[in-house]
Chains A and B, each alone.
Chain A
């Protein structure tokens, strides 16, 4: 008898007889009217995972798959240095970079510079995040505020951070103020947009309930808008965090005497490309950790947030 693979199920090696297949197709067709269509088919499937492994195995698998590309890149890098495709002064051996990483980590230099950069990012996240939130809430909750602010806001949010820098230098000089102000500008936009969109998407029913109960503005904000918009806002925090790191590196390249971005440029001038790569790795890693933590937080809150139905 012919055994026909069902579309999309090859991966798990499921094969059905013709009759089984027909049943499956039928139930799929019925699914147009009936929700949870594949129930009948799924009922016949062997369990895909043993209980308890559900979370660990796929996570490990995802990690392993995610590592394939970086490992390939690393291999390519190694091959490129062995065959000297690029001069060793410009593309150092991965082993040498690893040595420098260990050295810099042990001497505390890496941590020291990273802390300087982190401090700048955190300040900007507070300032930019705070004002972005306020702006987003204002535009989301009050049609009047939206009418006044939204056009200017959408215009200003078009400029990349680099476009701001000449003006920023005139206003803030080249000190800490410049760094924090520039990163702040980069952070405000994603915060405000996410908050605004989050509130826009708060289920109308919830807002109506609030209105029926005669909620004050504060009550609407605290008990309806904020909790419902929280996942979206956290998404904005994540976006903002990423923007902050990008802007940080740019602004530290501009004029600085400390921080990871600074160390990167300085090392390039002294032809210490290994240090440059260590800095890149550190910036990437911190950004990744930041993103992971925020994703976690976002998932946590999205489970808690109230649904409209």
Chain B
């Protein structure tokens, strides 16, 4: 065997080896780069458990198929789950690693973190919701004080429970002074209409129109009604940061579309597919700008609210362990998206008291 031949063999070997290595690297890299499917959970479902929801940037994106469009080019599927069991059900799915992105109310979000589930908050879904304290039409109650000692219903463990606690606190009523019954929203409607419960929180105009309930108090306090949260699991974020970025960017584009007043009717029509009637949204948004409520910013209002919610969750003994706030909110994806889409300064920031901050121009 000549020296030359030997050299060639060595070379061939090295080359083959290098090629194999490169191939392997590509394989692992592509496995790292793209998941086959993105699993999005919405904590709540439409009427009768319909797989749809309303009121937020995420649900608009769901109805328009914005995320599907964004990821279709890479063959990534977007899988949606709508949990009738609301936030608590999302938490169980998160613990079982069955969710990558999810929308959730503040209480279950905090419960999850106090139990060591790892999430990163990446944007706000919506804010400044309105809700009402409603009673059966036949009820003699006129004020919240009349409902002291009465039967209230709420889906326990959800953000609405915290809202109820805040409302009661505002009126100096302790939770022990009412009877609180755990029901999901469909059962609440049924129980209200039969007069089996005396009060609930509901934003539905439809129930009023059908003569089932009467509104006695409008909860329109941005320090009572929580902003909507959107998170990614830490595990997913660590594996696919570029997907998280594209996810947020796509939603920011949806948010910009949602902020455009000429789309008002269409947004409501899209949301109405969840079973909540169009008229409900029309009334709900009557005197507010879309841009203010379909606002994705993780501003001072948002962080203050979550910090307060943590304190309240502790005060009302919904959690037993501390919730570390540091590192929970991750605004970098949102900031990048705002920059890329040239939307810096497009949405107004609000301060801790939900007061509009003076425009400081682009950040």
Stretch in contact with the other chain, from A54-62, A87-95, A124-132, A214-222: A87-95
Given A266-B156, A266-B157, A270-B88, A89 and B115 touching (CB < 8 A)? yes
Q: Is the CB of A89 within 8 A of B182?
A: no
| Interface majority SS (helix, strand, loop, mixed), chain B | loop
Given A89-B95, A90-B95, A174-B196, A269 and B180 touching (CB < 8 A)? no
Tell me if B91 is interfacial: C-beta within 8 Å of chain A: yes
Q: Is the CB of B180 within 8 A of A257?
A: yes
Q: Is the CB of A262 within 8 A of B182?
A: yes
Q: Among A90, A170, A173, A262, point to the contact of B96 (Cβ < 8 A).
A: A90
Per the 8 Å Cβ criterion, residues 248-284 of A in contact with B are 255-257, 262, 265-266, 268-272
Residues of A within 8 A of B197 (CB): 174
Residues of A within 8 A of B97 (CB): 87
Interface centre among A88, A257, A265 (most CB of B within 10 A): A257
The smallest C-beta distance from B255 to any residue of chain A, in angstroms, reads 30
Given A174-B197, A255-B182, A268-B88, A89 and B191 touching (CB < 8 A)? no
Residues of B within 8 A of A262 (CB): 182
Tell me if B351 is interfacial: C-beta within 8 Å of chain A: no
Given A174-B181, A269-B88, A271-B88, A89 and B117 touching (CB < 8 A)? yes
Q: Is the CB of A271 within 8 A of B115?
A: yes
Q: Is the CB of B191 within 8 A of A269?
A: no
Interface centre among A90, A174, A262 (most CB of B within 10 A): A174
A256–B182 alpha-carbon span in the complex (Å): 6
Closest to A100 in B: B320
Q: Kindly state the interface size class of chain A when it binds its partner.
A: 20 to 34
Tell me if B318 is interfacial: C-beta within 8 Å of chain A: yes
Tell me if B65 is interfacial: C-beta within 8 Å of chain A: no
Q: Among A90, A255, A271, point to the contact of B181 (Cβ < 8 A).
A: A255
Residues of A within 8 A of B322 (CB): none
Q: Is the CB of B318 within 8 A of A270?
A: yes
Closest to B152 in A: A257
Closest to A90 in B: B95
Residues of A within 8 A of B183 (CB): 255
A32–B182 alpha-carbon span in the complex (Å): 66
Given A173-B196, A256-B182, A270 and B157 touching (CB < 8 A)? yes
A101–B141 alpha-carbon span in the complex (Å): 41
Residues of A within 8 A of B181 (CB): 174, 255-257
Q: Is the CB of A269 within 8 A of B157?
A: yes
Q: Is the CB of B88 within 8 A of A255?
A: no
The smallest C-beta distance from B181 to any residue of chain A, in angstroms, reads 5
Given A174-B181, A174-B197, A271-B91, A87 and B157 touching (CB < 8 A)? no
A268–B96 alpha-carbon span in the complex (Å): 15
Q: Is the CB of A255 within 8 A of B115?
A: no
Closest to A274 in B: B320
Interface centre among A256, A265, A266, A270 (most CB of B within 10 A): A270
Q: Is the CB of A174 within 8 A of B96?
A: no
Binary CB contact string for chain B from 131 to 167 against chain A (1 if under 8 A, 0 otherwise): 0000000000000000000000000111000000000
Closest to A91 in B: B95
Closest to B187 in A: A255
Residues of A within 8 A of B112 (CB): 89, 271
Residues of B within 8 A of A169 (CB): 196
Q: Is the CB of A90 within 8 A of B116?
A: no
Q: Is the CB of A257 within 8 A of B320?
A: no
Tell me if B92 is interfacial: C-beta within 8 Å of chain A: yes
Tell me if B194 is interfacial: C-beta within 8 Å of chain A: yes
Residues of B within 8 A of A88 (CB): 116
Q: Is the CB of A255 within 8 A of B191?
A: yes
Residues of B within 8 A of A269 (CB): 88, 156-158, 182
Q: Is the CB of B115 within 8 A of A173?
A: no
The smallest C-beta distance from B236 to any residue of chain A, in angstroms, reads 16
Residues of A within 8 A of B191 (CB): 174, 255
Tell me if B111 is interfacial: C-beta within 8 Å of chain A: yes
Residues of A within 8 A of B156 (CB): 265-266, 269-270
Binary CB contact string for chain B from 316 to 341 against chain A (1 if under 8 A, 0 otherwise): 00111000000000000000000000
A270–B89 alpha-carbon span in the complex (Å): 10
A50–B219 alpha-carbon span in the complex (Å): 78
Closest to B87 in A: A269
A169–B194 alpha-carbon span in the complex (Å): 10
Residues of A within 8 A of B269 (CB): none
A265–B184 alpha-carbon span in the complex (Å): 12
Per the 8 Å Cβ criterion, residues 291-307 of A in contact with B are none
A174–B187 alpha-carbon span in the complex (Å): 11
Given A174-B181, A174-B196, A272 and B95 touching (CB < 8 A)? no
Given A173-B194, A272-B320, A87 and B187 touching (CB < 8 A)? no
Q: What are 16 A-B pairs with beta-carbon distances under 8 A?
A: A89-B117, A90-B96, A170-B194, A174-B197, A175-B196, A255-B181, A255-B182, A255-B187, A257-B179, A257-B182, A265-B156, A266-B157, A266-B182, A270-B88, A271-B95, A271-B115
Q: Identify the B interface with A (CB < 8 A).
A: 88, 91-92, 95-97, 111-112, 115-117, 156-158, 179-183, 187, 191, 194, 196-197, 318-320
Q: Identify the A interface with B (CB < 8 A).
A: 87-90, 169-170, 173-175, 255-257, 262, 265-266, 268-272
For the complex of A and B, list the 6 residue pairs with the smallest distance between their C-beta atoms, beginning with the closest: A269-B157, A269-B88, A87-B95, A89-B95, A173-B196, A174-B196
Kindly list 20 other residue pairs between chains A and B, CB separation below 8 angstroms, not including A257-B182, A266-B157, A271-B111: A88-B116, A89-B95, A89-B112, A89-B117, A90-B92, A173-B196, A255-B182, A255-B187, A256-B182, A265-B156, A265-B182, A266-B182, A269-B158, A269-B182, A270-B111, A270-B157, A270-B318, A271-B88, A271-B91, A271-B95
